[in-house]
Each structure stands twice: as C-alpha cells, then as structure tokens.
C-alpha cells in the first residue's frame, strides 16, 4: 500500500488561464497576470532585494518542473528557473467560476463548484441592511464597523481603536465570496468572535457566500495592531463527496495540514493541525515519518497569499518561495518508496498586479514519486483523480488520472 501527500502552495499561479479576461482586479482584467513569472522577472532585474538578493532561487521545485510548467502555461520568461525537470510536471486550469480558496480547493479535490458564488458590491455600504442588523444582533452590539471592501490589515488599522471602544465588530469583504469579521482577541474575545461567525454563517451560506472568516487581532492604537494565527474559516460544506471523503470511505486515514479542515468543513478529515507556515512545515515533515500506509495528507501553505500576494510585496513573496523550496527539498528526500507527493496551487495572486485581489491563472502540477515526464495541460479535478488512482481508491467526479 502507498501514501499520498497533496500540497497546495496557496496562490502560486503560473499565468495563462484561458478565461482570465473575464476576471478583474478593479477595472483591469487578469489577462497577463503571472504570479511566478513576474516574481522571477523582478528578482532578475534587481527589483526584489528586500531580505534577499539576486535571481529567484528555487532549485528543488525547478527540478520537479516548476519553470517548465510556467513556460507551458504562459510562454513567459522565467529567469533563474531553467532546470531540466526530473519529476512529472504540467499545468492545470480551473473551470469553477471563482478565483478563491473554496473554488480552487474543491475542484482540486474533484468537485467543480456547481453554482455561482454571491459577491458583495464594491460600494459603501457593501452589505444589505438586514444582514447588518443580524450580525449586530448576534454580536450584541448596536452596529458594525467597516461595511465595505477592504484589505484586512488596513481596515483593522482604520477601525481598531473604535472597535475596542464600542465593541462593534469590523465587517468587510473583498473580490472573493467572503464575509470577514475582525475583532480584538482580548477586548472582544476570541471565543466570542468564533461564536459570532458560527452564528451568522448559515445566513451567509444560504446566500451562497463561500466563507465567513474570523479575523482576530491584538495590539493597541498606540503600538499598532497585528492579526494572529487564530483565524478560522466557516465555509459552505461541499455538496458532494470529494477526495477526502473518497479516501475516508475506503478506510484510509486523512490528515489535514493548515486551513484544509476549514475549507472542507472537516468532511472526510480525521485530524488537522494549524499554525504558521513554519509550524505547518514541521507538521508536514512529521507526517512524512508517521503517516499510515494508504493514507492521504492534504496540506495548504497560505502565507504566500495572505502575507505577500494581497499586500503586493514582491520581495516578501520571493523570500517565502525560497524558504519553501529549501524546506520542501529536505522533505522530498524523506519520502518513502511508493509515496506520491503532488505540489500545486489553487489560484494566482500576482504581487506585481494592480489591486489587492487574487488573479485568475493556471497552476503548476509537480509530481514526485512517479518518475519523470510531461503531463501537459490538465484540469484541477484531474489532480484528485490521480491521487485516488495512486491510492487505489474509487474516484468520483469529472477528473481523469494523468498517472
């Protein structure tokens, strides 16, 4: 019996989505966005020198086929990424009409989203009055703050002091189908914030809003505010079985690393660990040593997206990629004979692009443990079918194995 490790590098897109012209950051279509290639190009011209220097250095991912996959997806220049691929490699496109976390992960797990998500308008206010009243009532407050599209760090800086004074939760959204609630862990209370999100989630889910996200923070108006790692996503439950269910129904253990448990509402997941990306890498390394034969480990590393993509920080994104490459290189050496590791992404978030939202891109598909070769351009759902084939479990949905 064999094991499988599916690792999502959140937002590490490689350009070339054929429908990018129908997705926007503000008034600008995502046509031409390319998270990885644009970072590599910035590094090569010396425009990403904060905390690092020189061309983008990703030897382990590049040997698996990262540079080759990027050029296949978009025909873009990838300076510093020119290795001859030693793994199976290709690129994948998404069919769900969303460039967000649930859309990408559900489809990677074999289930294209069967509906259109609800998005809030980029107006002030952004939310209907009945929803505002329901949230305020659930919070025990006389109103909410925010009520607009915003960056999470910016809106906390803007309203943090007033929130601490009034007890009103800070509510905001983005170009994704999300309703986010930020509150101070100490003055408002983490448990109270989580209870608030849980209470209003059914109402938002009925509207086909994909996630209600608790965004706790700490700090003071004088010293500044910082978001903590106690974020929790309350996502719509997938309406049909996904890869995690297929594995669990076949009697296999399923381990979640990162926000996987939140994304799938713990459907088909036996246990989950959370934390910073550095902590999650430690957990992934541990599971390489301890995961049971026949098991599935599904991991998400979110900080490329949350700390650097949305903030349009090219240097920070490059540093995160180089850190990830060093760490995953050690983990790849620890795989057992018969193990499969698939490294991919869920969407793009080009830090060189306008706006602050995700970008519609294809994603890399890098496979360790099944020899070398090109798999070409595939679909997100094919990744789930391929993992299922490796584990010798029945698959459902539209995906076809490329193994």
Burial (CB count within 10 angstroms: exposed 0-12, middle 13-18, buried 19+), residue 297 = buried
310 annotated to bind ligand: yes
Q: Are strands 4-9 and 340-344 parallel, antiparallel or unpaired?
A: parallel
Tell me which residue of 210, 202, 157, 154 sits closest to 179, measured CA to CA. Answer: 210
358 annotated to bind ligand: yes
The pTM of this model reads: 0.92
Asked if residues 38 and 74 have their Cβ atoms less than 8 Å apart, the reply is no
Distance CA 16, CA 32 (A): 7
Asked if residues 34 and 367 have their Cβ atoms less than 8 Å apart, the reply is no
DSSP character at residue 359: B
Each residue's pLDDT expressed in tens, for the chain with a length of 403 residues: 799 999 999 999 999 999 999 999 989 999 999 999 999 999 999 999 999 999 999 999 999 999 999 999 998 999 999 999 999 999 999 999 999 999 999 999 999 999 999 999 999 999 999 999 999 999 999 999 999 999 899 999 999 999 999 999 999 999 889 999 999 999 999 999 999 999 999 999 999 999 999 999 999 999 999 999 899 999 999 999 999 999 999 999 999 999 999 999 999 999 999 999 999 999 999 999 999 999 999 999 999 999 999 999 999 999 999 999 999 999 999 999 999 999 999 999 999 999 989 999 999 999 999 999 999 999 999 999 999 999 999 999 999 999 9
The predicted pLDDT at position 26 comes to: 86
CB within 8 Å of 255: residues ≥ 6 apart: 269, 270, 271, 272, 287, 291, 295, 296, 297, 298
CATH class of 1-113+238-389: alpha beta
Domain ranges of the chain: 1-113+238-389, 127-233
CB within 8 Å of 268: residues ≥ 6 apart: 241, 242, 243, 244, 245, 246, 247, 248, 249, 254
- β-bridge partners, 184: 217
The predicted pLDDT at position 290 comes to: 98
How many residues in the chain? 403
Q: Are strands 88-93 and 363-368 parallel, antiparallel or unpaired?
A: antiparallel
Distance CA 217, CA 273 (A): 20
118 annotated to bind ligand: no
Asked if residues 217 and 153 have their Cβ atoms less than 8 Å apart, the reply is no
CB within 8 Å of 354: residues ≥ 6 apart: 25, 26, 28
347 annotated to bind ligand: yes
What 3-state class would DSSP assign to 69?
helix
Q: What is each CA distance from 16 to 76, 93, 340, 359, 392, in whole angstroms? A: 9, 9, 27, 11, 32
Asked if residues 200 and 135 have their Cβ atoms less than 8 Å apart, the reply is yes
The CATH H-level superfamily of 127-233 is Phosphopentomutase (3.30.70.1250)
21 annotated to bind ligand: no
């Amino acid at each position: 019996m064999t094991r499988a490790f599916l690792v999502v590098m959140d937002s590490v897109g490689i350009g070339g989505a054929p429908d990018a012209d129908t997705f926007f950051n503000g008034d600008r279509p995502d046509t031409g966005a390319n998270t990885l290639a644009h970072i590599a190009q910035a590094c090569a011209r010396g425009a990403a020198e904060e905390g690092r220097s020189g061309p983008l250095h990703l030897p382990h991912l590049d040997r698996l086929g990262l540079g080759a996959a990027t050029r296949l997806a978009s025909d873009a220049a990838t300076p510093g990424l020119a290795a001859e691929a030693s793994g199976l490699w290709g690129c994948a496109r998404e069919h769900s009409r969303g460039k967000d976390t649930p859309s990408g992960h559900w489809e990677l797990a074999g289930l294209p989203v069967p509906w259109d998500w609800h998005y809030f308008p980029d107006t002030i206010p952004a939310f209907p009055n009945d929803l505002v009243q329901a949230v305020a009532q659930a919070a025990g407050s006389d109103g909410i703050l925010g009520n607009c599209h915003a960056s999470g760090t910016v809106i906390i800086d803007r309203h943090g002091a007033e929130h601490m004074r009034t007890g009103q939760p800070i509510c905001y959204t983005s170009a994704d189908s999300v309703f986010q609630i930020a509150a101070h862990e100490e003055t408002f209370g983490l448990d109270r914030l989580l209870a608030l999100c849980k209470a209003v989630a059914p109402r938002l889910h009925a509207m086909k809003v994909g996630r209600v996200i608790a965004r706790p923070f700490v700090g003071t108006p004088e010293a500044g505010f910082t978001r903590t790692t106690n974020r929790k996503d309350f996502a719509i439950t997938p309406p049909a079985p996904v890869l995690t269910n297929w594995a669990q129904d076949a009697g296999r253990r399923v381990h979640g690393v990162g926000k996987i448990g939140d994304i799938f509402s713990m459907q088909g997941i036996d246990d989950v660990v959370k934390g910073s990306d550095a902590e999650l890498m430690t957990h992934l390394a541990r599971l390489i040593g301890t995961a049971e034969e026949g098991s599935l480990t599904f991991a998400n590393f979110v900080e490329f997206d949350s700390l650097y993509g949305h903030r349009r920080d090219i240097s920070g994104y490059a540093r995160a990629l180089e850190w990830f490459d060093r760490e995953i290189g050690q983990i790849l050496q620890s795989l057992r004979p018969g193990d499969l590791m698939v490294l991919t992404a869920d969407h793009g978030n080009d830090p060189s692009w306008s706006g602050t939202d995700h970008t519609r891109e294809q994603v890399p598909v890098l496979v360790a443990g099944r020899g070398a070769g090109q798999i070409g351009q595939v679909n997100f759902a094919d990744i789930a079918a391929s993992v299922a084939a490796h584990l010798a479990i029945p698959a459902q949905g539209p995906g076809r194995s490329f193994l």
